[in-house]
Homo-oligomer: A and B are copies of this chain.
């Protein structure tokens, strides 16, 4: 029996910080057919509010160090303001969106990151097993569109700040048991570029063999490497396709499609 299809769209800070772009994206998202899930990241609002309150945002390797005060602020921003504005806008557009943190319905339960060299504070680590896929399935079957923010919980009453890319890929892999899954990373570029300086040089499709070759040639390097490593890890765990492209091109073929074969 064929599994039903679901697409998981992940949007990041770049589009969340631009209200006009965000609405344009949500209009396109609303028009896409079939089961879908939206995962959103943070944006700069939380850092701006910290500065207004006299706090200094601290990032190590791009990850936010989250003490109790910072956790309150990111919870307010991600689970409160951003999540509810996106949900209200999707409702306007006829999408029956339902916003969730990981605590809601225990949909994502993780663990506080163990302290090794760096204490990231209230930051959560998750695996595929962290995802309550039965609840996701039940919400989708009811005609609801889950909108996930990057705040999860540990099951012991503690909220935790988590990376939205990680949530998107964990949800994607977890759902492969029940659905044929496409994972769609939306960002500010048109896709994986053959020439980093030419935004039109998008490589339309990359399979495992082509990926190995592009790496060997040094065409895929730097910031794109971890993104694609994560994408191929998701593919090797059963995700059918990972798409990387601009948030406003989700309905076009201007994007890079990653597949195993």
CB-based nearest B residue for A107: B98
A155 interfacial by beta-carbon distance below 8 Å: yes
- Given A52-B53, A79-B80, A84-B79, residue A153 in contact with residue B105 (CB < 8 A): no
Q: Smallest distance from the beta carbon of A247 to chain B beta carbons, Å?
A: 18
A177 interfacial by beta-carbon distance below 8 Å: no
Pick from B75, B84, B103, B106: contact of A75, CB below 8 A. B84
A76 interfacial by beta-carbon distance below 8 Å: yes
Neighbouring B residues of A153 by C-beta, 8 Å: 84, 87-88, 91
Neighbouring B residues of A97 by C-beta, 8 Å: 103-105
Q: Smallest distance from the beta carbon of A44 to chain B beta carbons, Å?
A: 15
CA A58 to CA B119, docked complex, whole Å? 41
CA A84 to CA B106, docked complex, whole Å? 11
Count of residues in A whose CB is under 8 Å from the partner chain: 38
A251 interfacial by beta-carbon distance below 8 Å: no
Contacting pair B101 A84 (CB below 8 A): yes
A191 interfacial by beta-carbon distance below 8 Å: no
A142 interfacial by beta-carbon distance below 8 Å: yes
A-B contact pairs, 18 of them (CB 8 A): A75-B80, A75-B81, A75-B85, A76-B80, A77-B80, A79-B79, A79-B83, A79-B84, A84-B104, A84-B153, A85-B159, A87-B103, A87-B153, A88-B103, A88-B157, A96-B106, A97-B103, A98-B104
